[in-house]
């Protein structure tokens, strides 16, 4: 077999293996996407700053007079 044909076959074989590996990783990432999104949402919710509690209502002078 001529050297040029052998080099072409080896190169095409390497490209084919690379494409298969890329496809495998792509399908794996596509499969894991919902799980990753759920974990990410859980972490963001856990690390989000808590909303401050509203201050207690202020009483009027009339309420103070009734209590004392």
57 domain residue, yes or no: no
Establish if 54 belongs to a structural domain. no
Residue 12 pLDDT greater than 90, yes or no? yes
| Domain-embedded: residue 61 | no
Give yes or no for residue 57 having a pLDDT over 80: no
Whether residue 66 is contained in a domain is answered as no
Which residues constitute the domain of residue 22? 1-47
Query: Where is pLDDT greater, at 53 or 60?
Result: 53
Closest CA to 20 of 9, 32, 8, 12: 12
Domain assignment present for residue 62? The answer is no
Distance in angstroms (rounded) separating the CA atoms of residues 37 and 26? 16
pLDDT score recorded for residue 50: 80
**Domain count of the fold of the chain:** 1
Is 63 part of any domain? no
The answer to whether position 68 is within a domain reads no
Average pLDDT over residues 37-65: 78
Asked whether the predicted pLDDT for residue 64 surpasses 80, the reply is no
């Amino acid at each position: 077999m001529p050297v040029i044909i052998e080099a072409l076959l080896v190169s095409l074989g390497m490209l084919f293996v690379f494409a298969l590996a890329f496809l495998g990783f792509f399908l794996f990432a596509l499969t894991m996407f919902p799980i990753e999104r759920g974990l990410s949402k859980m972490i963001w919710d856990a690390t989000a700053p808590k909303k401050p509690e509203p201050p207690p209502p202020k009483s009027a002078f009339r309420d103070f007079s009734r209590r004392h």
